Chains A and B, each alone.
Chain A
Amino acid sequence: MISTDIPAPLDVDPARRIFGLETEFGLHLDSATSRSVTPEEVAGHLFHSVVQWGRSSNVFLPNASRLYIDVGAHPEYATAECDSLTDLIAADKAGERIVHNLIAGGEERLRAAGIDGTIHLYKNNVDSAGNSYGCHENYLVRRRSDFRAFASNLLPFLISRQIVTGAGCITRTPQGAHFSFSPRADHMWEGMSSATTRSRPMINTRDEPHANAELYRRMHIIVGDSTMAEPTALLKVGATDLVLRIMEARAEFPQLALAHEMQAIRDIAHDLTGQATVELTDGRMLTAVQLQQTYLDAVRAHVGGIIAPTAEVESILDLWQRGIDAVRTQDFTLVETELDWAIKYRVVKRYQRKLECELDDPRLARLEMAFHDISPQRGLFYRLQSQGLVRRIITDEQIDLAVTNAPATTRARLRGLFVSAALAAGRDFTVDWVHLKITGSDGRTVLLKDPFRNEDERVDVLLGMLGAPAAPVE
């Protein structure tokens, strides 16, 4: 039975948006053991402690996020609903810590099974055989009848965005190796589709809003790279949000439909000079630099109008412009402490010069893996960051807090309170993005259709049944 006393949806400021990030981690056992150990087996050991408390390897945590093992034995972490970029970055970084904290237990279980080894988790997008996995971005958008056309309008932005928000990678070809903007670009096979493992679209159009379906849809973008640096995440999600805001306001917006999308994303990825041109359906030939500059100029024109001129917006636009300038002028120092591809390029080139080797040298591939290793001690990215070679957006204290606390200003708050209270009370429960239920209670399921609503009397009743105090928003 689902309770029917569902509160009316909140009247929401159009500038407010719900965001979420889903990250699939690469899982790697480095072991001298002669017996082959499958990734599934390693994942099983890694998640042993999770299964012990959750009786499942697919759980919602007290910080309202979801943690599970995805197809291909990838540990996956989905942040809870956030309505600010700083909350989102903190929640995403908290996910890295949460999965990293599973490693010690996993290695211990492996040792008990006779396998000595070190587990590495990578926040990257490809393994050494070229298998790809993703970082999915979610943006709640208002439902509209022309969703396909709306989503299609976003594709040229997403295809060219990699010159600023790409993770950067060494691409090895029979003709030699070169540095590319995005490891994901070569794995995209169509613009939009409702499937993912089969077809690899840039936007997944499956209609699953996890919210009131009369009001909302979820823009599920799966073309982006997993990124390490906080400023890169700020730009990736921030710029995409600003572009969506203009599109949702139905304001003047650049029409830059590309004639050959799959070719364009590859051509842009493999040209670090930013000079490769792509063909538009209207016959124009533009570079990725020109495409991105057109979008940035269009967004800037709406600052003070549709877009409130906040300090955060200004910092996004400033970084966006410097990223474009870095590619246009080939002066990568403009963003070498902020944008993933430029941070990584600097490190790879410096190490290459030290080793005096070719770019396809396996030691540079090893360096790339170290860069994406999420271990705060061992990971090269985190060592760069602690040396002050990468700019921060949030603090370690904010990340610590996000490991245990749900975002306070969205529905996530309610889920976090519920999961925490049920665990504290030792009660069985059922939970997903929109439902909360105490197992064996009177069967009442609370349906939370409004992701903007962070207080709800029905949840207070559930908390009462769990012996926890009602939790009005202060």
Chain B
Amino acid sequence: MPQTHSSSQSHEDDVPDAPAAPTQVASTDALDDLLDEIDGSLQVNAEQFVRSFVQKGGE
């Protein structure tokens, strides 16, 4: 369907963890669990991924 326009518009920090124990401490809350879950994918080429997002300004 052609659609045209009749007018011109362009328009805590959290409570610190207990002192690091020598062995891995189990995650105790949902945020830690979530960060553990996504950690792997965020670390893959993080710098390249960030740098490749360049777009001219808008508005």
Contact = CB atoms under 8 A, between A and B. Distances in A.
Nearest to A370: B42
B26 interface: no
Contacts of A429: 1, 3
B12 A333 contact: yes
Interface residues of A, number: 76
Contact of A431 (B3, B50, B52): B3
B31 to A, nearest CB: 6
Interface residues of B, number: 36
B45 to A, nearest CB: 9
Contacts, number: 162
B14 A30 contact: no
B22 interface: no
A60 interface: yes
Contacts of B32: 350, 354
A127 to B, nearest CB: 5
Nearest to A76: B58
A28 B52 contact: yes
B14 A350 contact: yes
A369 B1 contact: no
A200 B39 CA distance: 37
A212 to B, nearest CB: 15
A444 interface: no
A426 B52 CA distance: 41
Contacts of A365: 46, 50
A72 B42 CA distance: 27
B51 A332 contact: no
B55 A56 contact: no
B46 A349 contact: no
Interface string A407-424: 000000000000000110
Given A39-B55, A73-B56, A389-B31, A354 B39 contact: yes
Given A366-B42, A370-B42, A432 B57 contact: no
B38 A380 contact: yes
Contacts of A347: 31, 35
A59 interface: yes
8 contacts: A55-B2, A56-B3, A72-B55, A129-B54, A331-B12, A387-B34, A422-B1, A432-B7
Given A58-B5, A430-B3, 8 more contacts: A30-B49, A71-B59, A363-B42, A369-B49, A388-B30, A430-B4, A431-B5, A439-B2
Interface of B: 1-7, 9-14, 17, 30-32, 34-35, 38-39, 42-43, 46-47, 49-59
